[in-house]
Amino acid sequence: MTVVVGIVIIAVAAAFVAMPFLQGAASGPDLGEAQSPGERERLERQKLEAYAAIKEAEFDFNMGKLSDTDLAAMRDKYRAQALEAIAALEAAGAREPRRVAEARSPKRVAFCPACGRATPQRANFCPACGRSLKEVA
Whether residue 15 is contained in a domain is answered as no
Sign of torsion, CA 46 48 51 53? Answer: negative
The length of the chain in residues reads 137
pLDDT at position 7 is: 93
Q: Do 75 and 91 fall into the same domain?
A: yes
pLDDT at position 33 is: 47
- Answer for the pair 54, 75: CB distance below 8 angstroms, yes or no: yes
pLDDT at position 32 is: 44
pLDDT at position 137 is: 45
Which tens digit of pLDDT belongs to each residue from 113-132?
778 788 887 788 888 888 88
Residue 74 has pLDDT above 90, yes or no: yes
Which tens digit of pLDDT belongs to each residue from 51-61?
999 999 999 99
Q: Rounded to an integer, what distance in angstroms lies between the CA atom of residue 82 and that of residue 75? A: 10
Q: Do 86 and 111 fall into the same domain?
A: no
Whether residue 5 is contained in a domain is answered as no
Q: Rounded to an integer, what distance in angstroms lies between the CA atom of residue 45 and that of residue 50? A: 8
Prediction pTM value: 0.45
Q: Do 55 and 112 fall into the same domain?
A: no
Higher pLDDT: 73 or 39? It is 73
Number of domains in the chain: 2
106: exposed, middle or buried (Cβ count in 10 Å: 0-12, 13-18, 19+): exposed
Q: Do 43 and 97 fall into the same domain?
A: yes
User: Domain limits at 110?
Assistant: 106-137
Q: Do 58 and 111 fall into the same domain?
A: no
Whether residue 47 is contained in a domain is answered as yes
**Secondary structure (DSSP) of the chain:** -HHHHHHHHHHHHHHHHHHHHHHHHH----TTSPPPHHHHHHHHHHHHHHHHHHHHHHHHHHTTSS-HHHHHHHHHHHHHHHHHHHHHHHHHHHTS-HHHHHHHSPP--SB-TTT--B--TT-SB-TTT--BSTTT-
